[in-house]
Amino acid sequence: MPGGNGKLKVLVIDDSAVVRQVLTEILLSDPVIETVVACGDPFAAAERMKTFVPDVITLDVEMPKMDGITFLKKLMCQHPIPVVMCSSLTEENSATALKAIECGAVDIIQKPKTGTKAFLEESRIMVCDAVKAAAKVKVSPMCNVFHEIPPKLTADAVLEAPKGNAMIKTTEKVILVGASTGGTEALSVFLQGLPADSPGVVIVQHMPENFTASFANRLDGICRVTVKQADDNDTVLPGRVLIAPGNKHLLIKRSGARYYVEVKDGPLVSRHRPSVDVLFRSGARYVGKNAVGVILTGMGDDGAKGMKEMKDAGAFNIAQDERTSVVFGMPKMAIEAGAADIVLPLETISSAVMKYCTA
């Protein structure tokens, strides 16, 4: 947790000097982050931590002297500190980074790279937000340059607000889920609680591009429902879970009796892409009373406005409680917005959803 002045200290561990420099500049651009120390490998980091105790560590996945997973396991055993994995976009790295989540890492971010000014600004927002979210996590053993922040866009940037009621209520329900920090494990618990004939599920989990396919495959192997990364125009079917691909917005739409998803580009909405607000707004617009909304652990307020729009359209909404949330940000904001019908611990949400859907 941050020191008495509320400012954060971050330790960057990466064997690339360029990545260390870029991450240091990105992190110091946020007024909440006061100090950044960068090391080229875990051995140097361990030595530096004798005199410098960070609030958060960003950790490279692949390093020559010691890989990130090995260092993470030692850290979680001996001196638990919130860790954000910093990975390049390869299939091997995405699988390893997801393994790191199982070993105690809080989140995954994409390694920043050069690009347009807009791309670099989006990267800055995502990296800083991930680090600040991680600082709020209580890990257990296993566990000042200011840049003006651009205006936070709403779902209006992607989809118009719903006008009137969606369609008449039918017997076919659709479950719409939003999650962020801590969501990878929360979704595992939630989805493993669903039966094979569950109503169709559409999910936005804040995660970098190319990681969601590996994540979906991992879930598919442990759940009774089938899980896949969503492709444009995929049909929402009972027993099927569709997860938004990283770096793309995901919307649910309806054509006659068929629900399907649309995968599309667009700006960051509520500081994210994919955005829960975008998914939930589409649910309000096209699903209405047939929707069940679930908002899980995560920092920030993404999903709160969209969930309120779903509630106003007749949906039934559930928020995860504070005790079981890794970060009680997104659920809290949805609750305060009056968007949640009930607040439940994570382990009871899937049964509550099914009870409502079969009533």
The pLDDT, as a whole number, for residue 145 is 34
Structural domain boundaries enclosing 201 = 155-358
Q: How confident is the model over 235-260, as a mean pLDDT?
A: 96
Query: Comparing 22 with 147, which gets the higher pLDDT?
Result: 22
Whether residues 185 and 223 share a domain: the answer is yes
What SS3 state is found at 219?
A: helix
Which CATH number characterizes residue 311's domain?
3.40.50.180
The pLDDT, as a whole number, for residue 143 is 45
* Integer Cα distance of 206 and 354 in angstroms: 25
Encoded tokens for 126: 């995502």
Encoded tokens for 86: 């910093």
* % of residues, the chain, pLDDT over 90: 69
* Structure-token match 């009870």, residue found: 355
306 inside domain: yes
The pLDDT, as a whole number, for residue 198 is 97
Q: How confident is the model over 224-241, as a mean pLDDT?
A: 97
The pLDDT, as a whole number, for residue 160 is 72
141 inside domain: no
Whether residues 347 and 287 share a domain: the answer is yes
Whether residues 77 and 187 share a domain: the answer is no
> Among 216, 286, 276, which Cα is nearest to 249's?
276
The pLDDT, as a whole number, for residue 111 is 84
- For the chain, the domain total comes to 2
143 inside domain: no
Whether residues 276 and 336 share a domain: the answer is yes
Encoded tokens for 260: 């399907």
| Least reliable range by pLDDT among 57-61, 74-78, 190-194 | 74-78
Is the pLDDT at 61 greater than 90? The verdict is no
- Tell me: the pLDDT tens digits for 7-19? 999 999 999 999 9
Q: Are 213 and 248 in contact (CB under 8 A)?
A: no
Q: Would you call the peptide bond into 274 cis, given omega within 30 degrees of 0 as the criterion?
A: yes
52 inside domain: yes
The pLDDT, as a whole number, for residue 144 is 38
Is the pLDDT at 72 greater than 60? The verdict is yes
- Using CA atoms in the order 250, 253, 258, 259, what is the torsion angle rounded to 10 degrees? 40
Q: Are 109 and 58 in contact (CB under 8 A)?
A: yes
Which residues are known to be catalytic?
A: 180, 206, 302
* Structure-token match 């609750």, residue found: 335
Q: How confident is the model over 244-272, as a mean pLDDT?
A: 95
* Integer Cα distance of 239 and 223 in angstroms: 10
The pLDDT, as a whole number, for residue 89 is 62
Ranges 75-84, 139-148, 197-206, most confident: 197-206
Whether residues 165 and 122 share a domain: the answer is no
The residues that bridge with 172 in the sheet, in sequence order, are none
The pLDDT, as a whole number, for residue 191 is 98
- Side chain identity, residue 299: M
Which CATH number characterizes residue 30's domain?
3.40.50.2300
What SS3 state is found at 146?
A: coil
- Tell me: the pLDDT tens digits for 114-131? 665 666 788 899 999 999
Q: Are 251 and 261 in contact (CB under 8 A)?
A: yes
* Integer Cα distance of 60 and 69 in angstroms: 9
Q: How confident is the model at residue 149 (pLDDT cuts 50, 70, 90)?
A: very low
Whether residues 169 and 131 share a domain: the answer is no
Q: Are 306 and 281 in contact (CB under 8 A)?
A: yes
Cα angle 163, 166, 168 (rounded to 5 degrees) comes to 140
| Least reliable range by pLDDT among 132-141, 172-181, 251-260 | 132-141
Reported residue count of the chain is 359
The pLDDT, as a whole number, for residue 159 is 73
* Integer Cα distance of 9 and 51 in angstroms: 13
Q: Are 283 and 162 in contact (CB under 8 A)?
A: no
The pLDDT, as a whole number, for residue 278 is 98
Q: Exposed, middle or buried: residue 46 (CB in 10 Å: 0-12, 13-18, 19+)?
A: middle
Q: Global pTM?
A: 0.84
The pLDDT, as a whole number, for residue 119 is 65
Stretch (H or E) spanning 92: helix 91-102
Whether residues 208 and 347 share a domain: the answer is yes
- Tell me: the pLDDT tens digits for 152-209? 667 777 777 776 655 544 558 999 999 999 999 999 999 999 999 999 999 999 998 8
> Among 236, 268, 267, 270, which Cα is nearest to 254's?
236
What DSSP string runs through 101-142? HHTT--EEEEPP----HHHHHHHHHHHHHHHHHHHT------
* Integer Cα distance of 7 and 43 in angstroms: 26
* Integer Cα distance of 31 and 281 in angstroms: 32
44 inside domain: yes
| Average pLDDT value over all residues in the chain | 89
- Using CA atoms in the order 37, 43, 44, 50, what is the torsion angle rounded to 10 degrees? 70
Q: Are 244 and 230 in contact (CB under 8 A)?
A: yes
Q: How far apart are the first and last CA of the chain?
A: 44
146 inside domain: no
